[in-house]
Structure 1
C-alpha cells in the first residue's frame, strides 16, 4: 500500500492541472436571466424606436424643403441665364456701335456677386436699355437669395441626416441584442411579410371598421422598427396606416399621435372599436378592436397580432381618431 496517493490529494492535484480558462470563463446566462434582460431591452425599445422615427420624419421634411428650394434655384438660374444672353446681345451691340465698354463681370461672372459687382456700368447705358438690364439685376439678386436659402436648407438636411444615422445605429444595436436573446429563448418569430392576415368580425362601424379591417389584414407580418408597411410594421406605423385607410391622417410617431389626440381623449371605461390605446410612457400604441381585444405590432422578434386587453398590458390613456 506504500506509494498510494490518498484520494482527496489525488483529486486536488488533478484540479490544479486542469486548464484555468474553463474555470474562469463567464457562465452563460440562464433562461431567467435572458428573459429579464429581454424585458429590460423591450422597455428601452419604445423610446429608441420613437426617437428614430422622429429623426426620420425631421430628415424627410428637411430634405423635402431642400429639394423644393433647390428646384426654385435651378428654375431661377435658367431664367437668369436667359436674361444674361439678352444682356450679352446688348453688350455686343453697344460695342459695335462704339457706345461704352461694359464691365465683363456683369455678363460672364460665375456667381451672383461677380455679376452684381459690374452693375455700376448700368449708369453708362442709354435709358432705352435700362429696363431690361434692371430686370437682369433684380434676377441676379433673387438668384443670390435663393442660393443662400438653398445652402441653409441643405445644411439643415445634412445635420438631421447625421442625427438620423446615430438614432439608427442605436436602434440596430438594440435589435441585435433582442434577436440574440429571443433566439436563445426559442421565441424569435420572423413572421411573414406576405401574410394575408385575418378577417375582422368585430362590432366596429364607419371609418373605425375600415381601420380595423386594414389592421387585421396585417396580422402575421413582422414587427420592424421604422416599419410603415407593406411587409413590416412598427406600432405607430401600423396605427397611422390603418387610420389613413379610413381617411384620417395621424402623425408618424407615438408621441405625436398622443399629442394630436389631446382633445380626443376618452375614458377607458368608454372604449369603442378603433380607439388608440397607449402604454405608460406613451412609447407604444395599438388599436382597440372591441370585445376586449387589441391589434398591435409588439416588438422585435414578434408579429402583428390580436391580443386580449390583459395581454396588451397597462394602458395610460386612449384617443379616438
Structure 2
C-alpha cells in the first residue's frame, strides 16, 4: 500500500514558495536598510562633537570620583582585614603557648599520681611536711586554673577575630567589585570621547581645539597639547599614581585668562598648598592618580594640601565637607572650588578669579578661570 501513497505535499506550493521568497528578500533588504540607517551616526558638527565630548568627560570625571571613593574604601577594608589577620596570628601563638603550659602541668600531675590530699595526709608521717606540700599543690592548682582560663580566653578571642575577618573580607570583596565597575565606566566614557574625536577631519579638529582653547582662555596652544583632549595623556588608563610623562607648561598654561595680579595667601599653609600646586603645572591628568608625576583633579588638591601639612579626604564629594563652606564672593587663595551639580570637579583657588586644577585627559595641570565650568561651591581648609 505504501507504494501507492501520493508524495507528501509541502505546506507551501510553488506560488506560495515564490511569494515567501519574495517577501523574505524584501524583508532582508528592509532590515538591511533600517539597520544601516539606524547604526550609522549622522554627521555631527564640530560644535555637536564638542558638546558630546564635554559631556562624556564630565561623566567620566563623575565615575572617576566614584572610583576614587571605592578605592579608598577598598584600601581601608584591606588594611582592616590585614590587621585582623595579624591579630589572629598573634592570638593563635599565645593560645599554643598556653596549651603547652597546661599540657606540662597535666603531665606533672600524672607522674605524681594525683593522689587525693586526704589520702596523702593519712600516709605521711610528718604533718608539717604534708601542709607544706598541700600549699604547693594549691598554688599549682591555681596556676592550672589560670592556664585553663587563658586558653579559653584566647579561644574566644580567636573565634571573634575570625568572625570579624570574614565580615571584613566580605566588605573588601564588595568594594573591589564596585572598583571594577567604576573603572569600566571611566574607560567606557573616555573611549567614547576618543572615538568621537577620531571621526573629525583635520580641519574640524583644528576648529574643535580652537573652541576648547577659547573657552579656557588659553590661546591656540593651551589645550591641544599632545593630540588635544584625546591625546596621549588621556590614554593612560591604569588609574595609578604614575603618569605618562611631564609636558612643559606653555606661557598660556602658566597665566591663562582673567586678572593675573598676584594675590597674597591668607596664611602660610594656604601659601604652601598654592606653591606646591604651581610646581605641578604641566604634569598630565591621569584618572585615579595622586602624584607625583600625574594627577586627577581631587588627587592634585589632596597632594597640594598634604604638602602644607593638612590631610584631605580623597574625593571631591568628601573634600567639599573638609572645611568651612564659603561663598564665591568670599573666596581667598587656598580655598577649594568645586564645579558641576554632582560636585565632580575641584580646583585650588589662587586669587583673581583663577585656580590651578587638573582638567581632564589630554589637558595638563594648569591655571584656568573658575568661570569656565558651572560653579558648585567652595570650602576653606583649616
Determine the structure 2 residue equivalent to 1:288.
Answer: 349
CA contact under 8 A between 1:221 and 1:231: conserved in structure 2?
A: yes
Matches within 5 A, 1:2-41: 26=40, 29-30=43-44, 31-41=46-56
Determine the structure 1 residue equivalent to 2:108.
Answer: 93
Matches within 5 A, 1:129-278: 129-184=144-199, 185=205, 187=228, 188-191=230-233, 193-195=245-247, 202-205=262-265, 206-261=268-323, 264-278=324-338
RMSD: 2.9
User: 2: distance between equivalents of 1:181 and 1:302?
Assistant: 17
Matched, 1:314 2:369: no
| Cα 1:38/1:267, change in 2 over 3 Å | same
Determine the structure 1 residue equivalent to 2:60.
Answer: 45
Question: How far has the Cα of 1:95 moved from its partner?
Answer: 4.0
Cα offsets for 1:64-117 (capped at 9, x unmatched): 1111111111111111111122222233334444559xxxxxxxxxxxxxxxxx
Q: Does the residue aligned with 1:260 lie in a helix, a strand or coil?
A: coil
Determine the structure 2 residue equivalent to 1:112.
Answer: none
1:300 to 337, 361, 373: 361
2:94 to 79, 97, 103: 79
Q: Under a length normalisation based on structure 2, what TM-score does the superposition of the two structures give?
A: 0.65
| Cα 1:268/1:128, change in 2 over 3 Å | closer
CA contact under 8 A between 1:236 and 1:285: conserved in structure 2?
A: yes
Determine the structure 1 residue equivalent to 2:238.
Answer: none
Question: How far has the Cα of 1:126 moved from its partner?
Answer: 5.2
Question: How far has the Cα of 1:155 moved from its partner?
Answer: 1.6
User: 2: distance between equivalents of 1:144 and 1:265?
Assistant: 46
Question: How far has the Cα of 1:224 moved from its partner?
Answer: 1.6
Counting matched residue pairs gives: 276
Question: How far has the Cα of 1:306 moved from its partner?
Answer: 1.0
Cα offsets for 1:163-210 (capped at 9, x unmatched): 211111111212222233345545234356335768899333322221
Gaps of 5+ in 2: 1-32, 116-139, 200-204, 206-226, 234-243, 256-260
| Cα 1:142/1:307, change in 2 over 3 Å | same
CA contact under 8 A between 2:254 and 2:281: conserved in structure 1?
A: no
Cα offsets for 1:132-179 (capped at 9, x unmatched): 222222222222222222222122112211221111111121222223
Q: Under a length normalisation based on structure 1, what TM-score does the superposition of the two structures give?
A: 0.76
User: 2: distance between equivalents of 1:295 and 1:319?
Assistant: 15
33-42 or 182-191: which moved more?
Answer: 182-191
Gaps of 5+ in 1: 1-19, 101-124
63-72 or 25-34: which moved more?
Answer: 25-34
User: 1: distance between equivalents of 2:320 and 2:84?
Assistant: 32
Q: Does the residue aligned with 1:306 lie in a helix, a strand or coil?
A: strand
